Structure 1
């Protein structure tokens, strides 16, 4: 999508609107800082006055950054890509990703699929337990003994649950003469 550029007149109107919005803020902050009435904010050392203005522009900049990040998150929630956001901002996809990390809505991951471990003549089912946010197992050894993950224990990784299930199955194998 090609972006239309603002005209010189539109940019000048934007600058005027920003100055008009900044002046009351700068006047109020300067008056609090000096104890002078707002009408006399310019009656001071020019360095102090211009530094006060600079500080107010910093507040505007921080506010624009916050609103921009909000707009990026909103665009991402509607399905915009980093490439599209970067094009709108005049930067690369990588630049947009760096500027607004996490702006894209990620689909909620589906619940992990269960699987079966078959070892030493027995088997164990590995399954995700959403209430524990972890992996558990239940199984039966070759000798008929049933087992499962202890109590409310769960494992962060499916492989870890499989290792514990495998140890159980090894303990309950049937020795052949």
Structure 2
């Protein structure tokens, strides 16, 4: 899906609807700031009126961002990928992941394991149902090691790097002695 284009007529209707939604909010903001009735907003100093309108647009912008996040999360809950979210928004997959970090969830069924054999020892990389990775292994010298309690890695590669460092530290040389 590409970034949607709207027609001139749709733009006019959208502008009209947004201004209709904005005016009561701008009037209410102006009324709270001055203590004047909302219906007298437009009789105020033009700078103050314009600033009230700007303040209302800021509130609406925050609401649009909130609702956009909800829409992205809904799409993600139905199986949309970050690549798809980015395409619709006109940004990269990485941009979509940064903009809506929790929109796409990893399925719970992604738990798994793989084995890493290095320096005469081996370690098992374990993927938790949360999608995070950990490891545990035995070095060539018989030492057991595992990821520290509570520590999880975002990728298998990161867990493998830590497991590999452990295996290297517990390797045996050609003479059968620790390195």
TM-score bracket for this pair, using the shorter chain length = 0.5 to 0.7
Task: Determine the structure 2 residue equivalent to 1:125.
Answer: 122
The 8 Å contact of residues 126 and 136 in structure 1, kept in 2 or not, is answered as yes
- Is the alpha carbon distance of 1:39 and 1:82 closer, same or farther for their aligned partners in structure 2, counting shifts above 3 Å? same
Q: Does 1:148 align with 2:147?
A: no
Larger radius of gyration, structure 1 or 2?
Answer: 1
Root-mean-square deviation (CA, aligned residues, Å) is 3.9
Q: Provide the residue aligned with 1:57 in structure 2.
A: 57
Q: How many residues align?
A: 159
1:18 to 2:18 alignment: yes
- Alpha-carbon distance in 2 for matches of 1:48, 1:150: 63
Q: Of residues 164, 171, 176 in structure 2, which corresponds to 1:173?
A: 176
Whole-Å separation in 1 of the counterparts to 2:35 and 2:55: 17
Counting only pairs closer than 5 Å after superposition, residues 21-170 of structure 1 correspond to structure 2 as 21-80=21-80, 84-85=84-85, 88-89=88-89, 91=90, 93-94=91-92, 97-98=94-95, 101=98, 103=100, 105=104, 107=106, 110-117=111-118, 119=120, 124-128=121-125, 134-138=134-138, 141=141, 146-149=142-145, 157-166=162-171, 169-170=172-173
Confirm or deny: 8 A CA contact 1:26 1:52 kept in the other structure.
Answer: yes
SS of 2:125 mapped into structure 1: strand
Using the size of structure 2 for normalisation, the TM-score is 0.63
For 1:5 and 1:152, the matched residues in 2 are separated by 53
> How does the TM-score come out when normalised to structure 1?
0.63
Shift of 1:28: 1.3
- Unaligned segments of structure 1, at least 5 residues: none
1:172 to partner: Cα distance = 8.9
Shift of 1:113: 0.9
1:139–1:147 Cα contact (<8 Å) kept: yes
